[in-house]
Structure 1
C-alpha cells in the first residue's frame, strides 16, 4: 500500500469528524424567567385610561409632537460622547469576531536563514555559504468544534455589545427629552410665579395708597411687602434650574455648555402627549428592552464557551504542508535546491484532561451565573416598568387635583381683593388668599415637573428609543 493511499484513507476518516461540535447548543432555558408565560402577560399597572396597549414607537419622543425636541434628539444621537464610545466598543467587538474566525483559516509561516562557515576565528574568503527559505502552511481540523464555539461566543458577545449600545441610545434620548421638558416647565412655572407676583405687587401698591389715606397701617404694608419678597425669592431658583437644564441639553448634544440652544429658552410650556401613552405588554417589553437582549446574548456566549472548553478534552490535529529552497548561492535557484512536503502533515497535541475538565466546570459555573443575572435583569425590568406605570398614574391624579386647587385659589384671591375694597374682610384675609394662591401655583408646578419625570422614567423602563435593526449590526458576518 502506497503512502498516498494511507494519507487518503486517514483524511477520509478524519474529515467527517469536523462536523462534530462539542458542548451544548444554545437555547433559552425553560427555567429562565423570560420563558415563563406569566412574564409575557399584560402589565398590571397599565390598565388605566391614560395608557394604551399599543407598543410604543421606536422614536417615542415624537409622541409629544414637538419638532424642536425631535431635532435635539437627532443631534444628540449623532454626536453624544457616550454613544460615540458605545460605537467604538461595538467596532472592537466586531474585530474580535474577525479574530476568532481567522483562527479557523489556513495559517502561513515563512522562515529564512543563512550560514557562513568560519575557520580559526577568521572568515575565509572561500568559505562555503548556504541559505534556506521555507514556506509552511497549516490548517487546524477543529475536530471537536472548539474554534467554531469560540466564533459563536464572539458573535454573541458582539451582539451583547450592540444591545448595550442600543441601551445608551435609550438613555440619551430620555435624558435629552427630560432636559428639554425641564426648560419648558421652568418657563411655565416662571410665568405663573410672575403672575402671582404681579398680583401681590398690585396689592402692595394699593395697601400703600390706603395707608397714605389713613385707611391702612404700616403693619399692612409690611405684610404685603413680605409676601412680594417671598414670591420673588423663588424666581432665581427657577432661573438656575432652567439654565442647568440648558447646559445639560447642550452637553447631551455634544456641544460646549456655552453653545446651548438659545431657542429652547423661549419654550413657553412643556408639550403634552397627543394620545394615551402606549405601553404594550410584558412580551413586547421583553423583546424591546436592550438590557434584556444584552443579558440574553451574554448567556448565549457563556453557553458557547462551555463547548470551547470541552473541545480541550480532545486532541488537536493540524494538517500542514511545506516547501522551500536551500543550498549554496549557486544551487539556490536550481532544481536540486528545491524541496517540498505536500500532503497531510499531522500535528497531534494531546490534552491535559484534568486541566480541561476544570475549565469546563468553570465555564459551566459561569453560564449558571450569567443565567441568574439574565433572570435578574428580566425581573428588574418588569419591576421598574410596573413601578413607573403606577407612579405615573398617581402623579397624573395628583396633578389634576392640584390644578383644581389652583383654580379655586385663584378665584378666592380675586374674591378677597373685591371684598377687601368694600370693607367686608380685613387685609390679613387678602394676604392669606394670595399666599394660598402662591402655594397652589408652586405645588402645581412641582407636580407637573414630577409628572414629566415619571413619564421619562416610564419611557426608560419601556426601553424604546433605539432603531429596530439587526441585533448584531456592525458585526462582520
Structure 2
C-alpha cells in the first residue's frame, strides 16, 4: 500500500503544475513591467516639447517701387544660363558656363555639400545594426607554469532600436543640412555669376567710353590743327594753341586710365574663371547692351528661389530638430546584443563544438547623473535654434531690402538716363554751333573748349549711368534669386 502525503503537501505532478503556473505568472509580471516602462517612456517622449518652425516675416502687399507680392515659402533655387538671359548677351552666357565649371569658390561650396551628404549618410547608418568581427592569437605563461596558447575568433552584433526617435531626428536634421548646403551651392553659383556679369558689363561700358574718347581725341586733334593754322596766319593767340594742346593731352591721359581700369577688371574675370590673370584676355566687345525692362508686379515666387533664403530656412529646420534630439537625451537606450565565436588552445580544435561560445541578450543603459551636461546641451540646442530662426527672418528682411534697393535704383536711373540723353543732345548741338562760330572768327577757342568739355562730360556721365543701370539690373537678378523671366 502506497502511503499518501499528509495534508498540505502537493503531489509531484502537482508540484510541476504549480511551478509552471508560477513561471507563467512571473513571466506575465515581467511583461507587464516592461510594457509599463515602455508606456511611461513613450508618455514622456510624447510630453517632450517639440520645436516650432520659425515664421517668415510678413511680406508687404506691394513694394514701394513694384508689386504686388505675396508671402514667400522658400523653394529650391535654380541658376544657370536662363538666369542671365534677360541681358541678351551671348558672349556673357557662354562665359558664365565656364565660371560654373571652373570657379574655385563654387568648388569649395560643392565640396561642403559632399561633406554634408557624407555626414547625413553617417547619421542614417546609426539606425542599422552593427556587426564587428575579431580574431586574436595569444601565448601566455609565467613561473613554473607551462606556456599556453589561445586562439579566439568571433562576430559581435549590436543594434540600438530608435525607440524614442532620437537617431531618426538627427538623421532628418542631417538631411536638412544637406538641403542647406545644396542651397549654398546655388547661392555661391549665383554670387560668382553675378560678380562676373557685373565686371563683364563694366568692361563693356569702359570699351564704349574708350571708343568715345578715341573719337574725341580725333576731334580734338582736328581742332588743334585748325588752331595752329589760324595761329600761323595770325588770327588767334598762342594761348589758343596751348589750350587745344592741353585738351588733347588730357584726353590721352584719360585713355591710359581706361586701359588700366580695364586690365584690373580683366584680372578679376580671370580669377572668377579659375585662371591666372596672365592667361586671360577679353577682346573689346560691341556696344553696351540696352538695359532690360523690368515688368510691373513681380511675383514673390522670385524671392522663394533665393538660395540664401532657402539655406537659412533649412538651417532653422535642422536646428529645431536637434532641439528634439537634445530633449530625448534623458531617455534610456535599449540595445540588442549577440555574439558568437570560437575559443581554443589549438587551431585543430577551433571548429569543434566544445570550442564554440555565444551570447545573446538585451541591454538597457541610462545616465542617472551627469552634472547638468544634458541640460546644458538642451539649452545650447535651443539657443542655436533661436539664432537660426532670427537669421532666417533677417535673411528674408534683407532680401526684401535688396529687391527694394534694386528696383528703386532702376526706376530712378531709367528717368536719369532719359534726361541725360537730352543733356548730351543739347551739349552736342551747342558744341557744333560754337565750332562754326570759331571757324568764322566770332568767338575764341576758349568758348569752343568749354563746349567740347561739356559735351565730353555729358557723354561720359551718360555711359556711367547706363553702367549703373546695368549694375542695378544684375543686383535685381541676384536679389530675386535668378531673374524674373521664369517667374512670370
Alignment partner of 1:315 out of 309, 332, 335: 332
Cα separation, partners in 2 of 1:214 and 1:157, compared to 1, 3 Å:
same
Whole-angstrom CA distance in 1 between matches of 2:46 and 2:260: 63
Cα separation, partners in 2 of 1:115 and 1:421, compared to 1, 3 Å:
closer
Cα separation, partners in 2 of 1:57 and 1:99, compared to 1, 3 Å:
closer
Alignment partner of 2:288 out of 256, 270, 278: 270
- The answer as to 2:173 corresponding to 1:173 is no
- The answer as to 2:403 corresponding to 1:385 is yes
How far did 1:24 drift?
Answer: 5.3
How far did 1:57 drift?
Answer: 8.7
Query: Counterpart in 1 of 2:141?
Result: 118
- The answer as to 2:376 corresponding to 1:352 is no
Whole-angstrom CA distance in 2 between matches of 1:247 and 1:4: 83
How far did 1:381 drift?
Answer: 1.1
Query: Counterpart in 2 of 1:426?
Result: 444
Query: Counterpart in 2 of 1:105?
Result: 128
Query: Counterpart in 1 of 2:349?
Result: 331
- The answer as to 2:165 corresponding to 1:145 is yes
Whole-angstrom CA distance in 1 between matches of 2:89 and 2:187: 23
Whole-angstrom CA distance in 1 between matches of 2:278 and 2:28: 78
- Secondary structure at 1:44's aligned position in 2? coil
Cα separation, partners in 2 of 1:253 and 1:383, compared to 1, 3 Å:
same
The count of corresponding residues between Structure 1 and Structure 2 is 448
Query: Counterpart in 2 of 1:472?
Result: none
Considering Cα pairs closer than 8 Å and 6+ residues apart, tell me whether 1 or 2 has the greater RCO.
1
Query: Counterpart in 2 of 1:89?
Result: 112
> C-alpha offsets along residues 105-151 of structure 1, whole Å, 9 cap, x if unaligned?
11122334445342427x84xx4433222221111122221111111
Alignment partner of 2:315 out of 295, 298, 301: 298
Whole-angstrom CA distance in 1 between matches of 2:416 and 2:290: 17
Q: TM-score, normalised by structure 2?
A: 0.84
Whole-angstrom CA distance in 2 between matches of 1:132 and 1:8: 36
Whole-angstrom CA distance in 2 between matches of 1:8 and 1:191: 93
Whole-angstrom CA distance in 2 between matches of 1:431 and 1:64: 38
How far did 1:23 drift?
Answer: 5.2
Query: Counterpart in 2 of 1:51?
Result: none
Q: Based on CA coordinates, which of the two structures has the bigger radius of gyration?
A: 2
Instruction: Verify the 8 A CA contact 1:313 1:357 in the aligned structure 2.
Output: no
Alignment partner of 2:420 out of 394, 402, 418: 402
How far did 1:15 drift?
Answer: 8.6
Whole-angstrom CA distance in 2 between matches of 1:280 and 1:71: 30
How far did 1:451 drift?
Answer: 2.0
> C-alpha offsets along residues 20-66 of structure 1, whole Å, 9 cap, x if unaligned?
68855565334x41xx2xx1633322269xxxxxxx99523111222
- Secondary structure at 1:134's aligned position in 2? strand
How far did 1:203 drift?
Answer: 1.0
Whole-angstrom CA distance in 1 between matches of 2:272 and 2:208: 23
Whole-angstrom CA distance in 2 between matches of 1:175 and 1:96: 31
Instruction: Verify the 8 A CA contact 1:21 1:307 in the aligned structure 2.
Output: no
How far did 1:12 drift?
Answer: 8.8
How far did 1:292 drift?
Answer: 0.9
